[in-house]
Structure 1
Amino acid sequence: MRFRCKWMRSNVLRNNIIGSIAIKGGALCVTLASTPAYIRYFENDSVLGVWFVIVSILNWILTFDLGIGNGLRNQLAYASSGSDETEMKKVVSSGYVSLGVVCAVLALAGVFAIPAFDWNALLNISEDIISSSVLKSCIFIVYFGMVAQFWLKLITSVLYSLQKTAVANSVSLVSSILLLIFLLVHKGGDQESRLMALSIAQVLCINLPLIVATVCVFMTTLKHASPSPSFVSLSHSKGIVALGGAFFAIQIFLLIANSTNEFVIGFLYSSADVVGYQVYYRIFSLVIVGFSLVVQPMWSAMASAYAEKNFSWLAKAYHRFSYVSAGGILFALALVFAAPVIIPLWVGPDVVTVDVRTSLIFMFYASITLLVNSSTSVANATSRLKTQLVFSAIAAAAKVPLCCAFAHFGLGWDSVVFANCVALLPLLVAQTISTRKYLAKR
């Protein structure tokens, strides 16, 4: 029986990785086509930089789910490994209701919070370029669209827990394709009207595929476990939220460490520099995306192995991550030499001046991220989060002071990315030691 479970897990995992590679390959093509499409769409680096910052800031909202998505993912993986349909229905129902409460609070908070800020000052954009009323309207639209996405995106956690990673990734791909089509097709209007139209398109393109996926999954594969108020369990909700709480804290800390770059660059330097950051990031994030093709399917497979106490399979999976990470680092190094050729061909010769130092910093960042993701993979699947919690908090606390110090000494905007690397090093070392000790004992 154990051999059969191992064979089935490996077979499903292989199919998921192959499917994810195909889908992410398509997503990569869309991402590469989107950057020049954005540049042509706005024709103004300052407005484009503001758009990237808006989306970056509001994407932070997607981490404010109290970790319910990841908590649901692990709990549902544990329940499905035992084929307990009633348990699965309780977990799904409790997860959706718990997150629904969070979404209602966020929506109410947005009604009062958004008008209270001077967004032109925060985003460092003159009212002569984008008026205050238009900018606030765009932020309102994208904010409430992302609150809806916040709840609807729970379907991807469900799909991940069922080891249907390729299907979950395809939803994101469809959204990206729809948004790219809009960028290529929509013509005319001034910068303000284009910003407003893009805000509406962003909301529709992201949420419609999630709605379709939710309906399809709970009418077919998980018809027996579709959300129902009568199956909401306080104990299950507490279990999901308790586990999710640790995930949530880690998400917040890593959000501060990793996902504030656009905002910090726009604030300490200029919104136009955000465009340069995005170009480099999208090139070197290919390494991170490639690694995620392995990590995402493996998370739920490792959670299932953990539920079955198959620690030898867990150890082998972790060691495979080391080889994949090494390959990713070599690919990142190759991108340093290829960047002077790739970037001008991709976005044009006058958009970004390719600098070797900046390329090396982004290579270092991609490498650190790969190794951190590798070291935290087993901890995430087995819900052993203490080490990651402590050292991600240290990374979050160190990020902004490091950025300000580097800016004070006159270093360029790429020093913000270098600050990321320095802040994440303690987490990498501590989590690697913790994971190796845990697996060695078993």
Structure 2
Amino acid sequence: MFKSKKFSRDTKKVISNIVNGVVIKGIGIAIGFLTIPAYIKYFENNTMLGIWFTVLSILSWILNFDLGIGNGLRNRIVNTIVKNEQDKTRKYISSSYIFLLIISMCISIVILILSLKIPWNKFFNVSHSTINESDLRIAITIVLLSVMLQFVLRIISSVLYALQMSFVPNMLNLITNVILLIFVIISNTTLNNNDIIKLALVYLIAVNLPLFVTTIIVFSTKLKTMRPSIHFFDIKYAIDTLKTGSAFLGLQLEAMIINNTSIFLITWLLGSMYVVEYNIYFKIFSLVSTIFSLITVPIWSAITKAKSEENYLWIKKTMRVLQSIAVFFAIGQLLLLPAMQFLFNIWLKENAINASYKIMILFAIDQTIIIWSGIYASICNGLNELKWQFILMTIGACLIVPLAIVFTHVFEGYYGVVLAHSISLLPYCIGQTIWLERYISREIIVRKERVIAK
């Protein structure tokens, strides 16, 4: 298939990333399914497990506060690498690392002070009899420190995306999940479980060690001449990366509010015990958007490259392929609904929940909206066209909390949060679809006229 002349070089590279990503993510999905039952056994009650899931959800919010530097660096060095501008590439990489290291150290001090002051039991709506306040505070502090390390170490993921090696970050996530699963299984076997502090320490190592090792390998081999150095730090390049990334930061924060607050809203509005059932449904149905993201992630940098070459026909064809795949995924998940109870029984055994068609249809609709929005996010990010994305995501970010409050009271269940999330993403899906169709059609016409004029 890769030798076929039917595919352009860019298309072959995208397909290669997708194939590698599918294999790695497939293993990761299997690991993920094993993790939920292991976690249920690790903690003595669902309230504790709900707290852990909520903590991880909040961490994903904090990781968006890298000022967009990662995405800014990614878009900048795609062009410098294509043009073989090694000095510029090294300046962008060095400036990003050093700038983000300084920011991370400053934020760490503030977060540690706040962590000691915040009454975490009250924050998570959990009694002191369920978990000791000092234990919860120590665990959260450890995990927060882990996030601060990730701020800097995660830059390697942006570099890998720019190199169109998007399958490697998936591999790193897989390694992290394997380490966590091994620890939980061993703890359950030796009866040393229900310790949130130990789990937080293992999380710190499992997340950051693979990133650190990968950073060393990449800058000792493929990018040996572009490794970060304080001598190549240039505030001009740092500001340029920040300027490019600041627009992405706005989008990241809005996406965080829309996509990463569901667990927190359920904990806040209903209690952490409801998070476990939500997470079971989410784990199954999010497979759709997870698999689809394996296709869209390598598209971003490929689109940036195609734009620099004014290859808008390739962009249009790629968009049509993604739309067709999205429709196929949407139909496929609806056809699988009758088999869900069987899957729950095999997966969770005695802890299996009773599958509700009402909830499953809501999750299916929600995932369809997510994958459709993913098409336009990856293409528009690659084009560096962010204005309308920002406007439409702002509308969604303003809608989700009030809608969640209303729907959880009306339906008296966590599925009100799922419905709120779906409605919040609709303005983006509809508006961005219309805008991008017009944009690409206009650019193709302009390109044709320019060729004719020559």
TM-score under structure 2 length normalisation: 0.93
| Alpha carbons of structure 1 residues 228 and 439: separation in structure 2 relative to 1, 3 Å | same
Query: What's the secondary structure of 1:104's corresponding residue?
Result: helix
- Cα deviation code 1:15-65 (max 9, x no counterpart): 111111110111111111111110111131010001100111122111001
Which whole-Å CA distance do the structure 2 matches of 1:277 and 1:325 have between them?
Answer: 24
- 2:100 corresponds to 1:99: yes
Asked if the contact 2:408–2:415 (Cα under 8 Å) also holds between the matched residues in 1, the reply is no
Asked if the contact 2:184–2:193 (Cα under 8 Å) also holds between the matched residues in 1, the reply is no
Q: How does 1:230-241 map to 2 (within 5 A)?
A: 230-241=231-242
| Matched residue type, 1:290 | I
Which range moved further: 360-369 or 82-91? 82-91
| Residue 66 (structure 1) aligns with | 67
| Residue 306 (structure 2) aligns with | 305
1:153 CA displacement: 1.0
| Matched residue type, 1:348 | K
- Cα deviation code 1:362-419 (max 9, x no counterpart): 1011000011111222210011000110111111111000011112324311110110
Asked if the contact 1:76–1:88 (Cα under 8 Å) also holds between the matched residues in 2, the reply is yes
1:337 CA displacement: 2.3
| Residue 430 (structure 2) aligns with | 429
- Cα deviation code 1:277-322 (max 9, x no counterpart): 1101110010001111111111111111112222111111111110
Which range moved further: 84-93 or 328-337? 328-337
Aligned-residue Cα RMSD (Å) equals 1.5
Q: How does 1:112-131 map to 2 (within 5 A)?
A: 112-131=113-132
Which whole-Å CA distance do the structure 2 matches of 1:308 and 1:264 have between them?
Answer: 44
| Residue 172 (structure 2) aligns with | 171
| Alpha carbons of structure 1 residues 43 and 335: separation in structure 2 relative to 1, 3 Å | farther
- Deviating above 6 A after TM superposition, structure 1's stretches of 4 or more consecutive aligned residues are none
Asked if the contact 1:94–1:234 (Cα under 8 Å) also holds between the matched residues in 2, the reply is yes
Q: How does 1:42-53 map to 2 (within 5 A)?
A: 42-53=43-54
* Equivalent residue for 2:191, pick from 188, 191, 195: 188
| Alignment gaps of 5+ in structure 2 | 444-454
Asked if the contact 1:284–1:335 (Cα under 8 Å) also holds between the matched residues in 2, the reply is no
Which whole-Å CA distance do the structure 2 matches of 1:306 and 1:228 have between them?
Answer: 30
| Residue 273 (structure 1) aligns with | 274
TM-score under structure 1 length normalisation: 0.96
| Residue 342 (structure 1) aligns with | 343
- 2:210 corresponds to 1:209: yes
Percent of matched pairs sharing the same residue: 33
Which range moved further: 233-242 or 280-289? 233-242
Asked if the contact 1:61–1:150 (Cα under 8 Å) also holds between the matched residues in 2, the reply is no
- 2:34 corresponds to 1:22: no
Which whole-Å CA distance do the structure 2 matches of 1:190 and 1:36 have between them?
Answer: 13
Asked if the contact 2:300–2:378 (Cα under 8 Å) also holds between the matched residues in 1, the reply is yes
Which whole-Å CA distance do the structure 1 matches of 2:26 and 2:438 have between them?
Answer: 36
Asked if the contact 1:49–1:275 (Cα under 8 Å) also holds between the matched residues in 2, the reply is yes
| Residue 255 (structure 1) aligns with | 256
| Matched residue type, 2:38 | A
Query: What's the secondary structure of 2:145's corresponding residue?
Result: helix
| Residue 294 (structure 1) aligns with | 295
Asked if the contact 1:332–1:366 (Cα under 8 Å) also holds between the matched residues in 2, the reply is no
| Matched residue type, 1:92 | I
Which whole-Å CA distance do the structure 2 matches of 1:97 and 1:205 have between them?
Answer: 24
